[in-house]
Amino acid sequence: MSHVFINGQWYRPEEAVISVFDRGFLFADGVYEVVPFYAGHALLFNDHLDRLDRSLGEVGISNPYPRDQWLSICQTLAESLTDANAVVYIQVTRGAEFPRQHLPSTEIEPTVMATASHWAPPTATSEPVRVELMEDIRWLRCDIKSVSLLGNIMLKREADKLGAFEPILHRAGRITEGASCNYFIVKNNVLYTPPADQLILAGITRDWILTLAEEAAIEVQEDAFSIQELMDADECFLSSSTREIQPVGFIGDQPINNGKTGPITQQLAELFRSNRPHVTHQIVKEHR
Ligand code: PLP
């Protein structure tokens, strides 16, 4: 059983508590990261920690720990699980103070929480799933990995009610991302994914897929695409740290590649799995 790290102390899960005055609880005033560990090795650790730094910087919370301390906390958590296949969750909120007030005081100290849960890394490409097209109702700073995920959760529940694996979101007809993933399409052997602007979270998996595609001489375009272009795609897949590359076979009732995994999707999923062992925390964005 994994322990829970809170502000420098370790707790058993049933003992782990945070103040009701924590701004994470009251205002969702905080950010998070999810780092996958494969047999004790973090995939793209520095990229995840760079993104944590960026999210903290954007919301004006200072990072309380140096990188080597984060690595040691995350490794301890991963190794507390039997096979050290772990999804490590890190959350940093602005901290706790009383009375509740929108504007935080300048002396407030961040609250750090980290924990790990067991995870079975994919060993083969998953069967294609069905996703459901929905309007993106979230805020306009989706580039920040904020714990404020109410919009994402509402959309995920809606998709689930329709029996879909994930929503695929659009703003005014342009595809953005999912509730917890990025999307890619393939058309005429070109790989398209929406640009990493403020409307999407720049997925660490997304970034690595783009690197793998470039290395495999697949043409890549980080360009917005429309609902029509999505529907006309030759292939579609989604990506995230825990799902890696997940083929998409249906958008609502519309089949993509006859509901089958496309060849470029399959090639990238295999490249992802075969390159995983080489991209542990020692490697810092050397690819792109
Ligand atoms: N977009 C959103 C909204 C997410 O929540 C996530 C992951 O949780 C992603 C994209 C994929 O990001 P990553 O590849 O870093 O896991």
- For ligand 1, atom 2, the nearest C-alpha belongs to 180
Give the model confidence (pLDDT) of 63-121 as tens digits.
999 999 999 999 999 999 988 899 999 999 999 999 999 999 999 999 999 999 999 99
Residue 227 and residue 171 in contact, taking contact as beta carbons nearer than 8 Å:
no
How far is ligand 1, taken at its centre, from the CA of residue 126, in Å?
Answer: 18
Q: Within its chain, how far is the Cα of 133 from the centroid?
A: 19
CB neighbours (10 Å) of residue 194?
23
Closest atom of ligand 1 to 48 CA is 15
Give the domain-ending residue among 87, 118, 149.
118
Whether 148 and 99 map to the same domain: the answer is: no
Q: What is the CATH number of the domain that holds 251?
A: 3.20.10.10
- DSSP sequence for 224-241: --BHHHHHT-SEEEEEET
Give the model confidence (pLDDT) of 164-222 as tens digits.
999 999 999 999 999 999 999 999 999 999 999 999 999 999 999 999 999 999 999 99
- For ligand 1, atom 12, the nearest C-alpha belongs to 203
How far is ligand 1, taken at its centre, from the CA of residue 98, in Å?
Answer: 33
Domain housing 133: 129-276
- DSSP sequence for 233-287: -SEEEEEETTTEEEEEEEETTEESGGGS--HHHHHHHHHHHHHGGG-STT--S--
- For ligand 1, atom 5, the nearest C-alpha belongs to 180
Is 286 part of any domain? no
Residue 133: closest CA among 226, 196, 198:
226
pTM above 0.75, yes or no: yes
Please indicate whether residue 145 is annotated as part of the active site: yes
Whether 17 and 104 map to the same domain: the answer is: yes
